[in-house]
């Protein structure tokens, strides 16, 4: 399903003026065609896994957009098999965004965030990671909220300080809106079974709660 034409597109560097275009993938007909076929043929999960294995080979902004589909597949199937690939890509992106804000802090110029072209010319990888970061964080949450092992893996990664910094010590921008949730999830690693009783209906059930 993941053909060379599509991979060539996903590996092509995103231009600065496309960095806020969240519909960029859908402007490439081959992407919509392959996704549609995968869904119709019941192969959405398989295709999402193929994509997740190639995230590190893609342009980082396009990969962040691709993560949205991978997260959607996780939500639809409750399958978190792509979680390790998503976390690995998130760790890379998180490091780039962290480096960007370290640069901003050192230079005392937050206005660079309002100028996509200028930021792109300073460091295109920073720019692409930053503008795709909120989408990626939302996709990461699809996996973390469903798998305690992935939450434990996140907490064991060497990016806790970076996540905390981005969540608590940076300007309030739309691209960082969801890092707060990912940061909090690294401390939510366990499972707790609760017995819920309904005396009126004389029924009970077990509820699995994350702690």
- At 192 the three-state DSSP class reads strand
For all residues of the chain together, what is the average pLDDT?
91
Backbone angles phi, psi at 12, to 5 degrees: -70, 135
The model's pLDDT over 149-181, given as tens digits with 9 standing for 90+, comes to: 999 999 999 999 999 999 999 999 999 999 999
- Distance of CA 32 to CAs 38, 69, 131, 181, Å? 10, 11, 22, 30
CA distance 147 to 155: 13
pTM for the predicted model, two decimal places: 0.89
Long-range CB contacts for residues 200-203, cutoff 8 Å, separation at least 24: none
- Model confidence at 56, in pLDDT bands (50, 70, 90)? very high
The model's pLDDT over 1-41, given as tens digits with 9 standing for 90+, comes to: 788 999 999 999 999 999 999 999 999 999 999 999 999 99
Residue identified by tokens 């990664």 is 157
């Amino acid at each position: 399903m993941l053909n060379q034409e599509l991979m060539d597109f996903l590996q092509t560097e995103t231009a600065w003026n496309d960095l806020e275009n969240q519909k960029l993938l859908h402007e490439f007909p081959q992407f919509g065609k392959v996704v549609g076929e995968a869904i119709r043929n019941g192969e959405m999960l398989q295709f999402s896994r193929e994509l997740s294995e190639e995230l590190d080979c893609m342009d980082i902004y396009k990969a962040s957009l691709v993560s949205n589909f991978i997260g959607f597949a996780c939500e639809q199937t409750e399958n978190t098999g792509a979680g390790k690939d998503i976390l690995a890509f998130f760790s890379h992106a998180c490091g780039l965004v962290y480096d960007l804000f370290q640069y901003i802090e050192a230079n005392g110029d937050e206005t660079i965030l309002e100028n996509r072209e200028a930021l792109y010319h300073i460091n295109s990888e920073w720019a692409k990671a930053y503008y795709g970061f909120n989408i990626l964080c939302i996709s990461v949450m699809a996996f973390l909220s469903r798998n305690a092992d992935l939450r434990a893996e996140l907490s064991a990664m060497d990016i806790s300080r970076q996540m905390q910094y981005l969540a608590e010590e940076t300007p309030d921008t739309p691209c960082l809106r969801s890092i707060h949730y990912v940061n909090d999830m690294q401390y939510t690693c366990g499972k707790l079974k609760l017995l819920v009783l309904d005396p009126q209906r004389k029924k009970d059930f077990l509820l699995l709660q994350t702690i």
